[in-house]
Amino acid sequence: MIDHAFLSNGYGSALISKDLGIDWLALPRFDSQPLFCYLLDKNKGCRVSIKFEGNSKFIRKYVNGSLLLNTNVVKNGRTISNITDFMPLAESALMRVISSNEPFEIYVKPGFNYCMIEPAIYIKKDGAIFKDPNSKQALEFKFVWSSKVIKNRGYTWRFFPGKGYFLFLYSADVGYGIFSKKSKVYSIPSEAMPAAVNYWKSLLEHVSIKPPDWATNVFNASILVLLGLKYKPSGALVSSPTTSIPEIIGGVRNWDYRYAWVRDSSLAAEALIKIGHIINGREILNFLINVLDPSMKPFNHTLFTIDGSPPPSEYTADWLSGYEDSKPVRIGNAAHLQIQLDIEGEFMNALSTYYNFTKDKVFLKNVWWAVKSIANYTIKNYIKKDSGIWEERDVAKHYTHSKVNMWKSLVTAAELAKELNNLSEYSEWMLKADQIKDYTLKNAWNEKTGSFVRYFGSEEVDASLLVMPIYGLIKVDDDRFIQTLAKIEKELVRDYLVFRYKKDFLGNAAYPFGLASYWMAKVKIMQGEREEAEKYIRKLVSCANKLGLLGEHIDPTNCEPRGNYPHVFSHVAVLLGIYELVS
């Protein structure tokens, strides 16, 4: 089971296992080829591990509301070692600070090109350089230790009781690494650690709502996950730090989520703005605005790389066995080839949220060109088929969720036009929005099933139909929606967790979908059933691990995370759900 700690510095990320294995380290960017990718193939041994003599227990927690991980190593009821892992701010590095009363071994084996390429090793007196034989890049390992160190054979070192730290630094060119003349510029723990703690703690001080006691840990973790997945130089938000962690162990639902999805980013921006992180939310919106094309489909890709460039083609890393032997391991995501018509609507909803919370007319006027392009595109294209929110491959249909979002984008554009006193655009766009509403309600209704359906002509419901009243297309007490809700609750809800649908082009959906918990809770609140709504958010919160982290999907039998981890959607669901409960 994946139950790792997530580390970030806003540039790259790491995942640390319960027994202190560094199983994933992506530097210098979230979407870089990982230097340690043990998650995707245990046999290749690309990781850092630590081994104490005898049986040990590991007790871990984040440090003082931060993304610094502290672990006590306990043997026979006493703490024998204390370890803090963190990523220094603005450096392509991970630092491990250790004090230990007993000897231990450290194993360090990176790899290049997803562990396809073995490194050339240059042993140093106080560490090693692991160099890519095909380039100048390297992972450098340096230790500062107070007592005896023995270099063992292969990739291991033996440390005697003492204290000190390990630094793992990615260098694009070893000429300016930690063993070069430039070594003095790199961090030491006494400076880097308090700076990192203060940075992450400060992010929790900007929150404008107080969560209930039962949600505080996961609520705070959700904030740090979202902000930890935001690439500082551009404001892009990756959906997850990982690729190909499977939805179903041994299955093929393995996707690469290390990109900035328009949909995921918009929902995250909305959540951050609502809880008080207005500037961070606006930075995400700015990234999306900067990749928006006013001459064609506004978001002509469904996802972007973190620097705003078009995403790479998808390929499979056939040399990797996959997480728990789940193949294929995918690099890149072919969803970028799809047309998804809902994403402009989610963006417009986030933009409207920003404006409603700030009344920032200067910002609105500066991005009006983007609003107009979305409105004009929607008017011309709402009758087209698309791949929809669930991104089914090679299956284009008239998805109801997409139509709802296209209506939402146009209504929102009209409302913002009115704010700027652009009354002619307001009138024109509201008239067209009414046409889209009538078109959607007529075609998404199925008389045979007595419900709205997943796509026009279908007989199935899906969880995304819950956004119909949330976005305002239909009233929550409309008989047609009440009948639809009853069908969703009967077919897709299990123990207050919500499946996205029954099946798709790959077969049955095995696990509930984190974001749908928020949708259901929001609908219940709109119906005046606050206690029932709380049960959905409580259940979602209860399924987070002890560090407060969630995957995209949840195994309802044991709360284990499924799919890429941690994932923006589930943590957005926590933040928006708590916001609705306490507002």
**What CA–CA distances, in Å, run from 57 to 72, 74, 380, 394?**
8, 5, 61, 48
Strand pairing of 156-159 and 22-26? unpaired
Q: Which residues of 270-281 are buried (b: 16+ CB within 10 A; e: fewer)?
A: bbbbbbbbbebb
The CB-side HSE value for 422 (13 A sphere, CA atoms) comes to 17
DSSP state of 544: S
Q: pLDDT of the chain along its 583 residues, tens only?
A: 899 999 999 999 999 999 999 999 999 999 999 999 999 999 999 999 999 999 999 999 999 999 999 999 999 999 999 999 999 999 999 999 999 999 999 999 999 999 999 999 999 999 999 999 999 999 999 999 999 999 888 899 999 999 999 999 999 998 888 988 887 888 899 999 999 999 999 999 989 999 999 999 999 999 999 999 999 999 999 999 999 999 999 999 999 999 999 999 999 999 999 999 999 999 999 999 999 999 999 999 999 999 999 999 999 999 999 999 999 999 999 999 999 999 999 999 999 999 999 999 999 999 999 999 999 999 999 999 999 999 988 889 999 999 999 999 999 999 999 999 999 999 999 999 999 999 999 999 999 999 999 999 999 999 999 999 999 999 999 999 999 999 999 999 999 999 999 988 777 888 999 999 999 999 999 999 999 999 999 999 999 999 999 999 999 999 999 999 999 999 999 999 999 999 9
Residue 294: alpha-carbon gap to chain centroid: 27
**Which amino acid, 27?**
L
Q: Which two tokens stand for residue 577?
A: 């759900």
Kindly report each contact of residues 279-286 with a partner whose C-beta sits within 8 Å and lies 24 or more positions away, as own/partner.
280/227, 280/230, 281/350, 281/353, 281/354, 282/354, 282/363, 283/230, 283/235, 284/230, 284/235, 284/236, 284/237, 284/350, 285/347, 285/350, 285/351, 285/354, 286/235
Question: Do 88 and 98 contact (CB within 8 A), yes or no?
Answer: no
Q: Which two tokens stand for residue 1?
A: 């089971």
Could you give the CA distance from residue 447 to residue 507 in angstroms, rounded to a whole number? Answer: 26
- DSSP track, 457-488: T-----GGGGHHHHTTSS-TT-HHHHHHHHHH
Could you give the CA distance from residue 479 to residue 185 in angstroms, rounded to a whole number? Answer: 66
Could you give the CA distance from residue 533 to residue 581 in angstroms, rounded to a whole number? Answer: 8
Rounded (10°) CA dihedral 19, 21, 23, 25: 130
φ and ψ of 303, to 5 deg? -145, 155
Could you give the CA distance from residue 297 to residue 272 in angstroms, rounded to a whole number? Answer: 26
Question: Do 96 and 169 contact (CB within 8 A), yes or no?
Answer: no
